[in-house]
A and B are shown apart, each in its own frame.
Chain A
């Protein structure tokens, strides 16, 4: 694995998100707790809504366009909606957020 430093965790508001531009498209970093961050595709599979603009609750995010809810651990849509977003390994080190560059390279985040 090749870990890439994306920035400080405090640059992402708690229960909020920021995006990272990648060659494969935008990836959103969701901060679900003081020391907990998930990375997933920023794009809702339903109508392409920007998930980083959604409300983050528990380990989930709700798409701002039509309220699809995604589990950030698995990327699966909840409830009656059928869909999945790509997720990427991240880890925290000394207050910095690191993302797995290999996973990004093979990922197909749109």
Chain B
């Protein structure tokens, strides 16, 4: 018989509990899920990459609408629970009651706000959920905005690093003498502070906040010592408190958190609780690994299996790109404790192991954390390390006579109960089981075991287990590097260029460890594009990193001659332009004159050295480069619209011309073709373009992601807008989003297949984001929207297109 389960709070703990429950007993429960946030479960530990811009919200959603629908879970998102009537066994929401047989409380935690004067001013926020993250992203959009982050723990530092990456001036205030004092010792805290300062973050330790100053919103933070720090944004990240109010009001036993027993049951046997809201044997929880354990126990309890939650050792990593930090166990000084310390100042590496009674009890590592999981394993197992004490600090590679120096062999040698995925508590044996059960890829293992499904730092380890178990049947790196010069993928490089503010090709080669002196024909054009798209003002385009067509501003033909295509805005031309084209064709002996599919004229067979001259002639008649050779805007094809056509609903030609004038000259990951049709009869074939606009009586239907090349694809509807200005704004914003996120040589439809149309719609749907994208596009255009023909139709440029010397003129010897 189906019983009613109500869950209050859609966070990581309850989400995991629902997964277990619906996987094992899909038909036993009729489930209702309340969430105060107007959305479902997403991976909160990945909010930091969202803040820094390295990931998008869509990428961290763990349960989308479809997931809830498949499992028949009734979602009451954005609805607060008012009270629990335990006598009648109903949950009272804002929009009505829901009866329960069993209830799970997963109300999470609230940020602790220092009750100093001014703490409630607008501009003071915590860092707990997507709304906070978005508020921070928004604040960082102001030119020269300053942020003060109060709290130098995990969350505070991730917030600070993210805000800094978004261009804010950031100061971190920390009460203790060094950063992350609960996870790091002083030396590692120092290295971390140095690292953050080198990224332009100011760190003040021993800083006590007295008040937050401001009239209508925050203006500054005043410290106990009188220092005043100007601030447009204050982020409070000083700790969390279990959210117990609802439980307390319902008469459940609470202390720091909601009291639960080992089976996750509260003082009411029909009510369970999991996650950050609970108190178990005096402890409260903030990291994800124990939450997942609790979720599993809660699900088992509901199913009727006996299960007990046990507190375990925890390890910590900071999710700041480029900062490698690991800590586990206990590393306070103490009698009978010995330290093993290893320092390499040049590399910024610090490792410290704490040993007590021949057992490893704590480890702190900074700069090189590759062996972190191995040390963590030793701590958890309490293994006797006296035999390997001499070489312990050098990690597993140095144990057992170097037999395990190969990382694959090291993984193969791990026992079945060695933990691979700390977040989800998945040990090696479970992964091997999954592989023996048919899993052959990282995705399979992720789907069946959850290993590497949360923070992802163990991805490499999981792949090594796959390789060790499957042998040759497993192709090791699933992500393709750009080329032989680097191990990194296009996505990695794009992310790192932004995150580490790499603004030149040598910086990319050096900082990202290119194995060649200056790249190759595959990576150079890609890196050149990423740099110019991300840093339009700082980076100067490198012609030598461009494929010949973009360097010569003409398409090379198979015989080494070139084709020349002047722009015809929206496919409109004049007798005078046609005359100039005809004259040029005759003057330079152009063998073939062809009308293209993009509504313009192609002059094929022009000799390389004649290019500047023919451009000069065409320029003189007002014609500019059509960029028929570029990874950029090609054409905007149009029909005649209301000007002439009896069916036309809008001025499609006019809109096409406006779009082309706005977008020409911009570089994109691959070519971009557009069209505007004046009515749904679609004479301009807009529905197979990268961006295609179909005019209707009530406005403009914008479709994106069409193709008519090796793949044929119809556009997907992006949005319908009422005015021409909106159509232009959406188109420009779409192109800029593609410029900022697309992989080099992915047409928009391929990019869309990766990021998903809903993400694009959601991103562009926000008016401010859209406006910011348009502003960034226009900024780039201020540099790049210039006619390459005009630039090169000069005597100096002409010289560079000609041979350096002509030895045929010299007398033969």
Contact = CB atoms under 8 A, between A and B. Distances in A.
30 contacts: A2-B813, A11-B800, A12-B804, A13-B800, A15-B545, A16-B543, A19-B803, A20-B804, A20-B805, A21-B808, A23-B807, A23-B812, A29-B804, A48-B559, A48-B560, A49-B560, A53-B551, A53-B552, A53-B608, A55-B521, A55-B524, A55-B545, A58-B517, A58-B518, A58-B520, A62-B520, A62-B521, A64-B556, A69-B521, A105-B812
A64 B544 contact: no
Interface string B788-813: 00000000000010011111101011
B722 interface: no
A12 B524 CA distance: 19
A70 B64 CA distance: 51
Contacts of A89: none
A23 B518 CA distance: 34
Contacts of A26: 803
Top 10 A-B pairs, shortest CB-CB distance: A62-B521, A53-B548, A55-B521, A18-B804, A64-B548, A15-B544, A21-B806, A6-B805, A22-B807, A50-B560
A44 B521 CA distance: 16
B422 interface: no
A73 B805 CA distance: 22
Contacts of A20: 803-807
B543 to A, nearest CB: 7
B521 A57 contact: yes
A30 B519 CA distance: 16
B547 interface: yes
Nearest to A15: B544
Given A48-B559, A55-B546, A64-B548, 12 more contacts: A7-B804, A7-B805, A11-B800, A23-B807, A23-B808, A23-B812, A50-B556, A53-B556, A53-B560, A57-B519, A58-B518, A62-B520
Nearest to A47: B558
Contacts of A16: 543-544
Contacts of A74: none
Interface in B759-813: 800, 803-808, 810, 812-813
A29 B804 CA distance: 9
Contacts of B543: 13, 16
Contacts, number: 92
A57 B551 contact: no
Interface of A: 2, 4, 6-7, 11-16, 18-23, 26, 29, 47-50, 53-58, 60, 62, 64-65, 67, 69, 97, 101, 104-105
A101 B813 contact: yes
Interface in B495-532: 516-521, 524-525
Contacts of A67: 521
B805 A14 contact: no
Nearest to A53: B548
A74 to B, nearest CB: 17
A57 B804 contact: no
A15 B804 contact: no
Looking at A16, A49, A57, which has the most chain B CB atoms within 10 Å of its CB?
A57
A9 B75 CA distance: 71
Contacts of A29: 804
B556 to A, nearest CB: 6
Contacts of B810: 4
A49 B516 CA distance: 25
Contacts of B517: 57-58
A21 B807 CA distance: 6
A54 B758 CA distance: 40
Contacts of A53: 548, 551-552, 556, 560, 608
B805 A57 contact: no
Given A11-B804, A12-B804, A13-B543, A57 B548 contact: no
A9 B387 CA distance: 64
Nearest to B505: A15
A11 B545 CA distance: 18
Contacts of A13: 543-544, 800
B289 to A, nearest CB: 46
B800 to A, nearest CB: 8
B517 to A, nearest CB: 5
Contacts of A7: 804-805
B813 A55 contact: no
B547 A55 contact: yes
A50 B562 CA distance: 12
Contacts of B544: 13-16, 55-56
Nearest to A31: B544
A47 to B, nearest CB: 7
Contact of A57 (B516, B552, B812, B813): B516
B690 to A, nearest CB: 25
Contacts of B546: 55
A94 B548 CA distance: 30
Interface in B585-626: 608
Nearest to B806: A21
Contacts of A58: 516-518, 520
B527 to A, nearest CB: 12
Contacts of B545: 15, 55
A64 B629 CA distance: 13
Contacts of B518: 15, 57-58
A18 B521 contact: no
A103 to B, nearest CB: 12
Contacts of A60: 520
Contacts of B804: 6-7, 11-12, 18-20, 29, 97
Nearest to A13: B544
Contacts of B519: 57
A90 B724 CA distance: 60
Looking at A14, A23, A26, A53, which has the most chain B CB atoms within 10 Å of its CB?
A53
Contact of B807 (A48, A65, A104): A104
A98 to B, nearest CB: 11
B544 to A, nearest CB: 4
A69 B805 CA distance: 25
Contacts of A101: 813
Nearest to B557: A65
A64 B554 CA distance: 13
B523 to A, nearest CB: 9
B556 A65 contact: yes
Contact of A105 (B520, B524, B559, B813): B813
Contacts of A97: 804
A104 B545 CA distance: 30
Nearest to B561: A50
B45 to A, nearest CB: 40
Interface string B446-489: 00000000000000000000000000000000000000000000
Nearest to B809: A21
A23 B71 CA distance: 78
Contacts of A14: 544
Nearest to B562: A53
A7 B802 CA distance: 13
A105 to B, nearest CB: 6
A21 B556 CA distance: 20
Nearest to B807: A22
Given A21-B808, A23-B812, A47-B558, A57 B803 contact: no
A54 B521 CA distance: 8
Contacts of A6: 804-805
